[in-house]
Amino acid sequence: MKKILKIILSLSISAMLFSCNANSQNEGGNLTMTEKAKNKYNELLKKDAPITKLDDPELESIYNNFLYGEVYNHGTLDKKLRELVTLVSITASQGTDMIKPHIETALNVGVSPIEIKEAIYQCSPYVGFPRVFAALEKVNEVFKEKNISLPIESQSTVTEETRFDKGLDTQVIMFGESMRLAHSNAASNQKHIRNFLSANCFGDFYTRTGLDLKTRELLTFIMIISLGGAEPQAIAHANGNILMGNTKDMMIEAVTQCIPYIGYPRTLNAITIINNIQ
């Protein structure tokens, strides 16, 4: 019971801070956290409420001030895209306990249940199915609370017979004819990996409806940089973003939203990759 009360009040504070910042923007306030939000948060800390029993209230205050006061209010990234970026970053970095409030926010700013599901599904070939299933457990909890019917309508456009060809065609659209050459030149003991990549990664996921290729590629870049340790793949998908029409500035805006979840080393690695795009 104590744990539940902590979680409920923590989420309430986060929602309150988000609301205060939104009001500040509507009233022409500055982009940093408003004094109103700070004062309200401090009032809650002083009250004899479960929040005072948290082991690290100071760190939680820093987190809320930074996330809702600075990061969330930075830049001009569309609110819906901002939430999708956040969701895939949290999924990749295994911040599963933080997913539910962001699902709430995503729905509130107009992200559809299909878009939410497709963003999480898209993570599968990049961060692995275990992390995705853990995230989906939280997503489905929120959907059930809001009486959103499950399962969500299928967005698949391929069959077992067509997934490889359509996947390879999608790779060519995104990265050029060199993709076909890569298949031809693959070593015999590695050709199956190329086949899996075309059929599974691109055939099973990129061909789905619900999100367009441009959005999927931006989210994919975010997943990879949030995962860390996959810089060669991040470089490839940074270039893929440019080919799909996403600008360097847009990618930097998206990476900025991930700082609270992935930290500065992975953030700076991502910025270096973006800056080096030719």
pLDDT tens digits for 119-136? Answer: 999 999 999 999 999 999
Nearest Cα neighbor of 114 from 73, 80, 91, 86 is: 80
Overall pTM surpassing 0.85 (yes/no): no
27 has a pLDDT exceeding 70: no
Cβ proximity of 132 and 121 under 8 Å: yes
Copy the structure tokens of residue 212: 């367009």
Q: Which fold has domain 78-155+208-278?
A: AhpD-like (1.20.1290)
* pLDDT tens digits, one per residue of 181-206: 988 899 999 999 999 999 999 999 99
- The domain segmentation of the chain, as residue ranges, is 1-74, 78-155+208-278
C-alpha–C-alpha distance, residues 275 and 278, integer Å: 8
86 has a pLDDT exceeding 90: yes
109: enclosing H helix or E strand: none
Residue 54 — pLDDT band, cuts 50, 70, 90?
low
pLDDT attached to residue 16: 46
Cβ proximity of 87 and 138 under 8 Å: no
Cβ proximity of 125 and 233 under 8 Å: no
Comparison of pLDDT for 184 and 212, the residue scoring more? 212
